[in-house]
Structure 1
Amino acid sequence: MIDPQLLKKQRILMITFIAIVVLTMIVSIGFGYSSVSYSRILPTLLGQGEFKDEFVLFELRLPRMLITLLAGMALAVSGSVLQSITRNDLADPGIIGINSGAGAAVAVFFLYAPLEADSFAYMIPAVAFAGALITAVLIYLFAYEKSTGLQPIRLILVGVGFSMALSGLMVVLISSTDRQKVDFIASWLAGSVWGTDWPFVWAMVPWLLVLIPFVLFSAQKLNILSLSEPVAIGVGVGVNKDRIILMLAAVALAAAAVSVTGGIAFVGLMAPHIAKSLVGPRNQLFIPLAMLIGGWLLLVADTIGRNIVEPGGVPAGVIVAIIGAPYFVWLLLKK
């Protein structure tokens, strides 16, 4: 039974963060190399804007903001699931190597597939998922011990090792290709939001529509899996089966996100922690809040990054890392 006061607090926080996200989007529209005057935003949304305003808003700003918002949400949910099933507060799809696995698959696909990346936007998440899944399976096998189960500390160490190895693989891959493709992979590694057109939005939406409700529906299982292994087994949960299914969901969400945003780390680490500090550790309470916080964090990072240096800007992944790396070190020392 959840305390009604806690439920009320969660709903108030959800409404607050929805308002903050909307306000951030409005502010973001009016900033940047190409922007829309604040007085023209509402008329443009109602179809009464000039051609320039409509082009900037509907072709440049809105798809990019929706991509960062959806990707941040997906990474936050992915990080929440990974932290619960591994019982490790430092778990994050970027830190433990899942994002790097997705990136390596996207890089190979981009380099050797006969078409340009824009032509198969809908295939990119599936390719990223395949790479992330192979990486996650290998990490899981190396971190698992038959006698004691999954080892949380070993998971982090193995994941960091895989992340470094796969980043090195991408450097090797780009050393023998043409300049245009090198620039793309370098931008991906830095976390530059590259999939900023509507097809990439539509490519991500089905993954989130299926996987996020599934995770929320499985919140009680996540609560049990976050307890010790004997307790989880004692209450009748199929630990290995449920853990693998939920890990697949986390991997798919992370892959769908980074396939269009590049190597973004720390969002899946920070958002769940912030949400837990506000409403406690129950997954059904903090995951919806973490989802909004993650989307907002990446939206803010992208808005700041593209306005620091015009017109190219600083990759959102770099801005997030500037905030997230010290936070990760602080958590590591604290734990």
Structure 2
Amino acid sequence: MIHPSLVKKQRFLMLGFLVLIVMTAVISLSIGYASLSFDRLFPTILGEGTFKEEFVLFSIRLPRILITLLAGMALAVSGAILQGITRNDLADPGIIGINSGAGVAIAVFFLYFPIDAGSFIYLLPVVAFVGALLIACLIFLFSYSKRVGFQPVKLILVGVGFSMAMSGTMVILISSSEREKVDFISKWLAGSIWGTDWPFILALLPWLIILIPFTLLKAHQLNLLSLHEETAMGVGVSIGKERFMLLLTAVALAAAAVSVTGGIAFIGLMAPHIAKALVGRRHQLYLPIAILLGGWLLLLADTIGRNLADPEGIAAGIMTALIGAPYFIYLLLKLK
């Protein structure tokens, strides 16, 4: 049974992060290359703005903010699942190569399978999922031993190896591509939020609507899978089935997110860790906080990066790496 004080703390923190999200979103709406002042923000939302103000708000800023929020939430849940089913606190879809697998699949699809632009947007998450799932299965296969089961440290090493292999594959693909297409892939690799229009939100949203509630319903199973396999089996958990279903969920969430945002890493590492530090390791408690925290972290990174250098700014993936890489090293040293 969860102590009522922890539940109260969780709700207080969730409210706090919701406030942070709203504040960051308002700031993000109001600043940028095409300015929209604070005093004109709410009149524009109510339909009293000029054509330029409405265009900046509804066609540029608002879709981008929603995409970063949704993608950050998806990456946070994906990271939490991976850390639970592998019993490895360093697991993250960007670090262990799942994002790279999605990226190679998207690059191949973009370069060699010409398709109608309207269909391309909605097919991207599916294509990314296929590539990410293939890499995830290979990583798990190489890090599994019949004698000892999953080896958490080996999983990270194998994942990093596959990530490097996918990076090499991406270089080969880029070297044989047209200039215009190379620009797109380069931006994707840097984690530039490129899917900044309403159709991209419609392409991403169904994955989250289905998979995030499914993950929350599986919180108890994740708690058990985080323990030793013998313990989980002792209470009647079908380890293979649950782990496989949750792996599919983690891969699908990560693939859907990076298909419209590019190669974003470390959100899936940082958000669950910070949430665990705040309310403990029970998934029922920390998953809702990690969801909000992941969305806020990516929104904050994109808002800062977008306004550091005009007009293109710095890619959100670079900003998250600047924060996440030292955090990863800190965790690595802490786990020794």
Aligned counterparts of 1:305 and 1:278: Cα–Cα separation in 2: 27
Aligned counterparts of 1:288 and 1:180: Cα–Cα separation in 2: 40
CA offsets 1:127-182 (integer angstroms, 9 cap, x no match): 00000011111111001111211111111000000000001101100101111100
TM-score normalised to structure 1 length: 0.99
Matches within 5 A, 1:2-21: 2-21=2-21
Aligned counterparts of 1:241 and 1:224: Cα–Cα separation in 2: 13
| 8 Å Cα contact 1:143/1:155 also seen in 2 | yes
Aligned counterparts of 1:43 and 1:5: Cα–Cα separation in 2: 41
Aligned partner of residue 122 in structure 1, secondary structure:
helix
Q: 2:80: which partner in 1?
A: 80
Which amino acid counterpart does residue 180 of structure 2 have in structure 1? Q
C-alpha change, 1:145 and 1:129, in structure 2 (3 Å) is same
Q: 1:269: which partner in 2?
A: 269
Which amino acid counterpart does residue 28 of structure 2 have in structure 1? S
| 8 Å Cα contact 1:102/1:131 also seen in 2 | yes
CA offsets 1:88-124 (integer angstroms, 9 cap, x no match): 0000000000000000000000101113656521110
Q: 1:60: which partner in 2?
A: 60
Aligned counterparts of 1:164 and 1:313: Cα–Cα separation in 2: 26
Aligned counterparts of 1:152 and 1:252: Cα–Cα separation in 2: 21
Q: 1:315: which partner in 2?
A: 315
CA offsets 1:201-243 (integer angstroms, 9 cap, x no match): 0000000000000000000000000001110111110111100
Aligned counterparts of 1:306 and 1:118: Cα–Cα separation in 2: 27
Q: CA deviation at 1:35?
A: 2.6
Aligned partner of residue 123 in structure 1, secondary structure:
helix
2:37 pairs with 1:33: no
Q: 2:222: which partner in 1?
A: 222
| 8 Å Cα contact 1:86/1:226 also seen in 2 | yes
Name structure 2 gaps, 5 residues minimum. none
2:184 pairs with 1:184: yes
| 8 Å Cα contact 1:110/1:116 also seen in 2 | no
Aligned counterparts of 1:35 and 1:165: Cα–Cα separation in 2: 42
Aligned partner of residue 60 in structure 2, secondary structure:
helix
Runs of 4+ in structure 1 displaced over 2 angstroms? 115-119
Matches within 5 A, 1:117-266: 119-266=119-266
Which amino acid counterpart does residue 243 of structure 2 have in structure 1? R
Aligned counterparts of 1:195 and 1:289: Cα–Cα separation in 2: 26
TM-score normalised to structure 2 length: 0.98
Q: 2:24: which partner in 1?
A: 24
Identity %, equivalent residues: 67
Aligned counterparts of 1:75 and 1:25: Cα–Cα separation in 2: 19
Matches within 5 A, 1:94-133: 94-115=94-115, 119-133=119-133
Q: CA deviation at 1:81?
A: 0.4
| 8 Å Cα contact 1:110/1:117 also seen in 2 | no
Aligned counterparts of 2:271 and 2:43: Cα–Cα separation in 1: 34
Which amino acid counterpart does residue 139 of structure 1 have in structure 2? I
Aligned counterparts of 2:114 and 2:270: Cα–Cα separation in 1: 38
Aligned counterparts of 2:229 and 2:314: Cα–Cα separation in 1: 43
Which amino acid counterpart does residue 128 of structure 1 have in structure 2? A
Aligned counterparts of 1:107 and 1:114: Cα–Cα separation in 2: 12
Q: 2:292: which partner in 1?
A: 292
